[in-house]
Amino acid sequence: MNIADTLKRIEAAGGRVLTPRTNIGRFFGVALIVAVIYFVGQILFVAIPVSGTGNPQRAIYLLFFIINLPAVPFRLFFPGASPEVALAVACFGWGAVFYLGGVLRRRLSARRLTRA
């Protein structure tokens, strides 16, 4: 029986398959996705005509605000850093958040399985 069949059997029995992932891939992958989302937002910000309510502009700025949140401590410690550097830090910050989130989730899952 190959691995795929084994995994299917575990899932069919109600078990949860923890897909093996490389944590470092998650770190850089999330950072890259956040950077792409930022630049898509920037393109949309320029492309979308200003509406009567201004909601699209505010919504895209909310997106920028959320993306930049992990860089808040960095900007407080290094106020002279350029916005480009702060954006890079923010992207890697989200990578770190998801990396640590993944580690935590796996540990909790492992604990649950062990208890079961």
- Report the interface residues with another protein, using CB under 8 A: 19, 21, 25-26, 29, 42, 45-46, 50-51, 53-59, 61-62, 65, 72, 75-76, 79-80, 82-83
Compare residues 82 and 114 and give the one whose CB is closer to another protein.
82
Compare residues 14 and 80 and give the one whose CB is closer to another protein.
80
Axis-axis angle for helices 83-115, 55-68 (nearest 10) = 70
- Give phi and psi for 100, each to the nearest 5: -65, -35
Identify the DSSP state of 14.
T
Write down the least CB distance from residue 62 to another protein, Å. Answer: 5
